[in-house]
Structure 1
Amino acid sequence: MVNEPAFVDAAGRSVRVSNPDKIYFAERGFTKLDVVEYFVSVGDGILGALRERPTTLERWPAGVFDGARLSTRQDNRGDAFYQKRIPKGAPSWVETARIAFPSGRFADEVCPTELAVVAWAANLGTLTFHPWPVRRADVDRPDQMRIDLDPQPGTDFADAVRVAGEARALLHELDMDAFPKTSGGRGLHLYVPIEPRWEFTEVRRALIAYGRELERRMPSQVTMSWWKEDRGEKVFVDYNQMARDRTIASAYSVRPNPRATVSAPVRWDELGDVEPDDFDIATMPARFTELGDLHASLEARAYSIEPLLEMADRDEHDGEPAELPYPPDYPKMPGEPPRVQPSRARGATGAESSP
């Protein structure tokens, strides 16, 4: 039986929540209303992460249940999906930003300007918000360089924390700093505020140079290989997170796992003492009340990426490839090496393929 709707006050605007008792996380017993109220409880934080940014909605309208899966480009029959265009019937106060995909096609994406937009999207089943690293005023020049430390099989969150320490030391050498957060899973995200002077290709090139230097310093722990078969038990620096239309789950987003963990901003001095499961929709509101938004000062200073672009020039002078592979759904990019899995490339040349 469908429940009567509930109404939630989102910073002065009343937002209707349909079927509020619908179970969204069966293992924990969390309902749709619990999710909406969670977002309101961390309102300044989630809005700070999304405000004026084109945002893709990751919608789980049936909730998270055993066997639930996300639709992909290859198979759209999943239980959840990414919404890259504003849903039909959106209220007039839900604003948009026009963005261009790598294919050259355009879309009007949700662009949150007030907390009610977050609550409205949560009512539609949005658990994870994926904001672009740009503002609506200039959607072609990122104002954040996002470093995704992604532990590969055989590694875990503790490995990402160890890499993060060296990652920060390298940033300090470049007169830069970052704001860390958990991914909500095993990884870590480091956000570096940058001057919005460079286009996506240039910021991606800067991140490649940064990742290569980190790999040189920690060769047994860090990899820049795009191909999973070559990564080993290391932490992957996902440089393609700075390609156009690639996004990272925002701070305070809920992740679609049985525990309903959230992507949590953390202090550098507590990184070694926390675990991703410490942060979920039940525990984060009290933490937010106590500490406030740890990313509130993210925009207090914007850094130049010139030192990283100079590092990229030196790498290329020393023989490093000027480009690395893009994701498979992107058009072929200038100077990009062949998108061929290494074992297949070796097999094609007569060499023995990897097992």
Structure 2
Amino acid sequence: MSTIRINNFKVELSNLDKVLWPKQGYTKGDLINYYIDIYPLIQDFLAQRPLSLKSYPDGINGKSFFQKNAPDYAPHWLSTYGIYSRHRKEAINWITVNKLADLVWVANRASIELHSWFSTINKPDEPSFAVFDLDPGDRSRFKDVIDIALVIKKIIDEMKLIAFLKTSGKSGLHIYIPIKTGYKFTASKIFLKSIAEMVIRVKPGLATIEWRKKKRDGKVYIDYRQNGRGKTLPVPYSIRPTANATISTPLNWDELNPKLSPEKFTLANIANRLKKKGDLWSDILQIKQSLPSYLL
């Protein structure tokens, strides 16, 4: 056990040499160091947003577990916020990463992935983004995911909206459309479903919005249902529990080509990519867009 101070907050660290990624040999110390380095780029996607934790105490090949409630033994300075759960009929004391010390404490729990809400604690029913999660089916390729993403981009462009793109860190793509305050999740979901249905009319053999996996016929799943209170996706630059420590990486739209593979963006090369490309999502939260009224 060792202790570090971050802006006067004392954070206890343990088992820093514990290997979490056996193939690459990355340790919990590597995880903590990465999130310290990347924090300036992700802090706005974490601050005031409830965080679902998924911990891998024995590494990515061991058992993992989700946790929403902050544990009783959490330090007194850890940022938390109680929100009543209609489903559980009780309050959940959510962790919110509002400072670097919070993030280091989370990473020390071997919480590899950072899954935060699309809304903040101040307006939990009003999302900051409308989000598509594109997931390949068992008979589709990543190239098909790219094709669907480009059709979505064309539709969004025709609506004079701006959309941001990132890899999921696994086999899919995420498309984020920043929106202004005031829309409920219901409105964003109606908007996204309308676009998804347009895509299916254009690419009926490639895409589906069928949520039951066995009925998707192996097509690319356009998931808009993740847009709801309490739903989450990995934040940009979140590491994923994959063999090569892939990262959910922001992309330029012109990077979508047949040679693109989400597996190429990893802990080993993310620093070099940032030096070359910069932070492609630096201004997403400053963009406040209205949704087309004719789709709501």
> What TM-score does the superposition give when structure 2 sets the normalisation length?
0.92
Change in Cα spacing, 1:10 to 1:255, as seen in structure 2 (3 Å) is farther
Counterpart residue number, 2:103: 118
- Whether 1:54 aligns to 2:38 is no
Report the Cα offset of residue 288 of structure 1: 2.6
Report the Cα distance in structure 2 between the residues aligned to 1:110 and 1:240, rounded to whole angstroms.
Answer: 24
Match of 2:127 in 1: 142
CA distance in 2, matches of 1:107, 1:304: 32
Matched to 1:186, the amino acid is S
Where does residue 223 of structure 1 map in the other structure? Answer: 208
Partner of 1:295: 281
Q: Is the 8 A contact 2:190 2:295 kept in 1?
A: no
Q: Look up the match of 1:274.
A: 260
User: Could you say which residue in structure 2 is the equivalent of 1:257?
Assistant: 242
Q: CA deviation at 1:130?
A: 0.9
Structure 2 counterparts to residues 301-316 of structure 1, below 5 A: 301-307=287-293, 310-311=294-295
Matched letter for residue 260 of structure 2: V
Q: Which amino acid in 2 is paired with 1:64?
A: I
* Cα deviation, residue 157, structure 1: 2.2
Q: CA deviation at 1:116?
A: 2.1
User: SS state of the match for residue 57, structure 1?
Assistant: strand
| Distance in 1, Cα, partners of 2:139 & 2:241 | 22
Please, what TM-score do these two structures have when normalized by structure 1?
Answer: 0.77
Query: Contact conserved, 2:3 with 2:10, CA < 8 A, in 1?
Result: no
Out of 76, 82, 99, which is 2:66 matched to?
82
2:227 aligned with 1:237: no
Task: Give the superposition deviation at 1:261.
Answer: 0.9
Q: How much does 1:213 deviate? A: 1.5
In structure 2, the CA distance between the partners of 1:14 and 1:288, relative to structure 1 (3 Å rule), is farther
Contact 1:156 1:186 in 2 (8 A): no
Alignment counterpart, residue 12 of structure 2, candidates 13, 16, 19: 16
Tell me the residue number matched to 2:40. 44
Cα displacement (A) at 1:224: 1.0
Gaps of 5+ in 1: 69-78, 313-355
- Describe the superposition over 1:229-261 as per-residue Cα deviations: whole angstroms up to 9, x where unpaired: 221232111121113222111111111122111
**Contact 2:13 2:108 (C-alpha < 8 Å) held by counterparts:** yes
Alpha-carbon spacing, 1:183–1:251, altered in 2? closer, same or farther (3 Å): same
Q: Secondary structure at the match of 1:36?
A: helix
User: Displacement, 1:274?
Assistant: 3.2
Greater RCO (CA < 8 Å, at least 6 residues apart): 2
Aligned equivalents of 1:237 and 1:193: distance in 2? 18
Compare the two structures and name the one with the higher strand fraction.
2
Residue matched to 2:112 = 127
* 1:102 Cα deviation from its structure 2 partner: 4.6
CA 1:278–1:15: 2 relative to 1, 3 Å: farther
Would you say the 8 A contact 1:6–1:20 is kept in 2?
A: no
Supply the AA of the counterpart residue of 1:81.
F
Structure 1 position 198, deviation (Å): 2.1
Larger-Rg structure? 1
Change (3 A) 1:12 1:184: farther
Q: Percent identity?
A: 31
1: distance between equivalents of 2:18 and 2:152? 42
Counterpart contact for 1:222–1:237, Cα < 8 Å: yes
Closer, same or farther: CA 87–285 of 1 in aligned 2, 3 Å: farther
Secondary structure in structure 2 of the residue aligned to 1:166: helix
CA contact (8 A) 1:52 1:111 kept: yes
Change beyond 3 A, Cα 1:142–1:54: same
Q: Does 1:94 align with 2:78?
A: yes
Alignment partners' CA distance in 2, 1:185 and 1:84: 23
- What amino acid does structure 1 have at the position aligned with 2:20? Y
Tell me the amino acid that sits aligned with residue 221 of structure 2. F
Contact 1:54 1:132 in 2 (8 A): yes
Q: Aligned equivalents of 2:18 and 2:218: distance in 1? A: 40
Other-structure match for 1:320: none
Aligned partner of 2:278: which letter? Answer: G
Q: How far apart in 2 are the matches of 1:113 and 1:52?
A: 6
